[in-house]
Amino acid sequence: MIAALCLILMLTASECVYGQAFPHKSIKLITGGAPGSITDSIARPLAEKLGSSLSQPVVVENRPGAGGILAMDLIAKAAPDGYTLGVATMSQLVFNPYLFAKLPYDPLRDFRSIGGLVSGPIAVAVNASVAVDSFRDLVAHARAHPGDFRYAVPQLGSPPHVVALLVLRTTEIEMSVVPFKSAMEALRSVLSGDVPVMFEAPPIIAEHVKSGRLRALAVTGRHRDRLLPDTPTLEEEGFAGIQGDVWIGLVAPVATPDHVVGRLNMEVNEALRSSELKQYLEAAGWRITGGSAGAFASVITESHAIWGKIIRDAGLHLN
């Protein structure tokens, strides 16, 4: 009798702490991208799928600006109850603490991993008029003529720029970076021939590779990209060990309870396996990752070890 009473009291206390079964109200899904951005284009179909499976609205909230810092700070300071989640990029969770001296959030201490979402490579491409036919040709020319090539990126400290730093360091070649305000501006500069080389995500350049205006020399991922099937990986080009996949995942405030994280991880993986979302993401050039919350946490930690050194060695700072 006493044991039964204790159990009832424990369950009652648990309900007082956690409230109704999760979820019992709408969930905010915050992204640091503007409407129509890469993260927004992932967040919206994911929110629709999660809303259906959780039987509660999942509302995308766009908080663009400051390299995703505003969005990540908002997520970090939200109540850790599962009702505020964030679609987070590698830039926000890994690059930012090395790029900015005063970051209002700590990516390793202020967030709880829910799970990975997608990953994809960066492509190395040149204007079709550039007299190199392969990445090996580009490296050979750059070694023989240091400083001959410039490369375009969409902003300093962006994933294409940081991946380019890894590629240049590992291949021991010198090229000058030309940063732009956006991927589209960088693309236009390479299409016009003003800048000969570009580091960018395959979805940005695939159409122009197909038309013959650009030549894709290599991709930095472990596998060939679905949008650039004829473009070899750097390993295929003879440069093993250069793997520059960029990734996006889902996070919550750090004190979010285990049972909430477990439920969200299960629903996210189920959504990623659905035929509609899978086809949509793969058509956009992404490789679906998914997996456990712990696996995504390990990806974040391992990424800090790799990219933190790249950024520090380059002396790259944005403030």
Asked whether the beta carbons of 30 and 75 are under 8 A apart, the reply is: yes
Residues 58 and 200 in one domain: no
Total number of domains in the chain: 2
Do 95 and 145 lie in a common domain? no
**What's the rounded Cα separation, in Å, for the pair 315 and 243?**
21
Residue 279 lies in a domain: yes
Asked whether residue 33 is domain-assigned, the answer is yes
**62 found inside a domain:** yes
Return d(Cα 165, Cα 177) in angstroms, integer. Answer: 9
Q: Give the 3-state DSSP-derived string for 68-105, with helices as H, strands as E and coil as C.
A: HHHHHHHHHCCCCCCCEEEEEEHHHHHHHHHHCCCCCC
Residues 192 and 266 in one domain: no
Note the pLDDT of residue 2. 53
Q: Which tokens belong to 259?
A: 């049972």
234, part of any domain: no
How many angstroms separate the CA atoms of 181 and 166, rounded? 21
Q: Are residues 270 and 287 in the same domain?
A: yes
Give the residue from 178, 201, 219 where a domain finishes: 219
pTM, full prediction: 0.88
Beta-strand ranges (E) seen in the chain are 27-31, 58-62, 84-89, 111-120, 123-127, 150-153, 176-179, 197-200, 214-219, 246-253, 287-288
Return the pLDDT at 3. 46
Domain residue limits at 200: 123-219
CATH number for the domain spanning 134: value is 3.40.190.10
Tokens 């395959």 -> residue: 202
pLDDT of 10 reads 43
pLDDT value of position 242: 80
Q: Which is it for strands 123-127 and 197-200: parallel, antiparallel or unpaired?
A: antiparallel
Q: Rounded CA gap, 159 and 199, in Å?
A: 9
Q: How many CA atoms lie within 13 A of 308 on its CB side?
A: 12
Mark whether 181 and 251 lie in a shared domain: no
11, 67 contact by CB (below 8 A): no
Q: What is the pLDDT along the chain (319 residues), one digit of tens a residue?
A: 454 444 334 444 444 444 568 999 999 999 998 888 889 999 999 999 999 999 999 999 999 888 889 999 999 999 999 999 999 999 999 999 999 988 999 999 999 999 999 999 999 999 999 999 999 999 999 999 888 899 999 989 999 999 999 999 999 999 999 999 888 999 999 999 999 999 999 999 999 999 999 999 999 988 899 999 999 999 999 988 787 899 999 999 999 999 999 999 999 999 999 999 999 999 988 999 999 999 999 999 999 999 999 999 999 998 7
Residue 229 within any structural domain of the chain: no
Q: Do residue 148 and residue 214 come from a single domain?
A: yes
Which residue from 68, 55, 49, 53 is spatially nearest to 26, judged by alpha carbons?
A: 55
Between CA 258 and CA 246 the distance in angstroms is 27
Round to whole Å and give the CA distance between 134 and 140.
10
